[in-house]
Amino acid sequence: MNDAPTALPVAVPSTALFTDQYELTMVQAALRAGTAHRPSVFEVFTRRLPEGRRYGVVAGTGRVLDAVENFRFEPALLDWLRERKVVDEATVDWLAGYRFGGDIDGYPEGEVYFPGSPIMTVRGTFAECVVLETVILSILNHDSAVAAAASRMAVAAGDRPLIEMGARRTHELAAVAAARAAYVGGFSSTSDLAAGFRYGIPTVGTSAHAFTLLHDSERQAFTAQVESLGSGTTLLVDTYDVTEAVRTAVEVAGPGLGAVRIDSGDLLVVAHRVRRQLDELGATGTRIVVTSDLDEYAIASLAAAPVDAYGVGTRLVTGSGHPTCSMVYKLVARAGEDHGGGEGEGAPLVPVAKKSLGGKLSIGGRKWAARPVDAHGAAEAEVVGTGPVPPELADRQVPVELMRAGRAVARESLDAARDRHRRVREALPLSASQLSRGEPVLPTRYTGTA
């Protein structure tokens, strides 16, 4: 991973109350019991992929690093906890000095994952790790869901660019995160200016139907837009009659018109008609952009259509039917009773695991993960284990160092994560690109685990 900064041009507020209450009450009880400072290992993983998905996509890693570094209990937050009696005074005092000082390893942003993959491993004392559960899961579950949907759409789109247009379909802050995750998954640009400002994602946009309706005629609207934005702009041509609008658009902008956008109707049929008409009018270089409730299946159905770009909103920011990845954050190892509850390294760690009915079992022990490849360079399995890494897998390990002693060590640009995802996805077996329902494209094989 490179060390390029994320260069956030806005201040990141404290993330300390992006926390469920039971995380703080556990700290209170552990402080009283003398177990709060036991060295512990927590792991983020998912037991299954969303139904029918072939792989998952890790996104939000950079946002997790921001969130952990900004997990600070400021005076106003401490006063609120004290006034509401959420925790006792001793716990408030401990929270006042909270700074995560542990280590985090994990799958780099843009990587793919499978059931059981140790997506993120958090090491430190029990108390300093347990309070991070909710904020880490909320980021990874949301961003990875959007990135997985984006990846499937990118596969369906092939070389045609994708525009993220979902800001109005979700929470205003989630929209920024969704645009970021979509970019990692393969989208080229966003309509959301906050995402462009914060993360440097290319932004696009020209006009909506309201602009056409504002004017006394479509010609007046097109003329105003071209005079303002130039002939390379994109004109929306389905407010009234598409055929007439395309003719007017070329008359106003000339054959150098940048693009037309179609937002309704049978997109396959309309796109063919518009392409033919543009060519007949001499606007052979004018591109066609389609929008209108697209998802990966609709995009795939337009593969043979003369479409140059897609704009996607609702289905993207809601994970195309799967708005969460069902990732969990579980304690998998901790120091034994003879550790005495004090700080420090070197204590032997005891694997621990949840054992319950209903498919919620977990596997104890700190995990490693490696992805061997076949003779053709395609990944063949997700190998997850505890204990020493077999020598033949040493150079195929997936997790990387993300934080050391509470400081991020893996800052990178979004373009680096986006490029990684493309490379990793291309290294999967060809069946990964299928949109039909199926099992994970790689089997998860466990070794050295109880």
Stretch 206-224: mean pLDDT: 98
Sheet holding 382-385, edge to edge: 368-370, 382-385, 444-447
Does residue 43 contact residue 332 with C-beta atoms inside 8 Å?
A: yes
Does residue 105 contact residue 120 with C-beta atoms inside 8 Å?
A: yes
Computed over every residue of the chain, the mean pLDDT equals 93
Stretch 72-100: mean pLDDT: 97
**Least-confidence region, from 36-45, 115-124, 203-212, 372-381:** 372-381
What pLDDT digit, counting tens, does each position of 49-60 carry?
Answer: 998 899 999 999
Q: Which residue has the tokens 């309509």?
A: 191
Sign of CA dihedral 316, 319, 323, 325: negative
Portions of the chain given CATH number 3.20.20.70: 157-321
CB neighbours (10 Å) of residue 361? 11
Label residue 422 exposed, middle or buried (CB < 10 Å: 0-12, 13-18, 19+): middle
Q: Give me the pLDDT at residue 306, please.
A: 98
Give the N- to C-terminal CA distance of the chain in Å, as an integer. Answer: 32
In CATH terms, is domain 157-321 a member of 3.40.50.300? no
Helices (H), 290-439: 296-301, 314-317, 414-426
How is residue 64 written in tokens?
A: 């997790």
Stretch 238-243: mean pLDDT: 97
CB neighbours (10 Å) of residue 95? 21
Task: Tell whether the model's pLDDT for residue 432 goes beyond 60.
Answer: yes
Task: Tell whether the model's pLDDT for residue 80 goes beyond 80.
Answer: yes
Task: Tell whether the model's pLDDT for residue 6 goes beyond 70.
Answer: no
**Least-confidence region, from 5-19, 21-35, 96-110:** 5-19
Stretch 146-173: mean pLDDT: 97
Task: Tell whether the model's pLDDT for residue 9 goes beyond 60.
Answer: no
Task: Tell whether the model's pLDDT for residue 11 goes beyond 60.
Answer: no
> Which residue, among 425, 153, 424, has the nearest Cα to 291 in the 3D structure?
153
Task: Tell whether the model's pLDDT for residue 437 goes beyond 90.
Answer: no
Is this prediction's pTM over 0.85?
Answer: yes
Portions of the chain given CATH number 3.20.140.10: 21-146+322-447
Out of 3.20.20.150, 3.30.465.10, 3.20.140.10, 3.40.1030.10, which CATH number does the structure's domain 21-146+322-447 have? 3.20.140.10
Q: Give me the pLDDT at residue 3, please.
A: 45
Percent of the chain with pLDDT over 90: 89
What pLDDT digit, counting tens, does each position of 311-369 carry?
Answer: 999 999 999 999 999 999 999 999 987 654 444 455 689 999 877 666 667 789 999 99
Q: Give me the pLDDT at residue 341, please.
A: 47
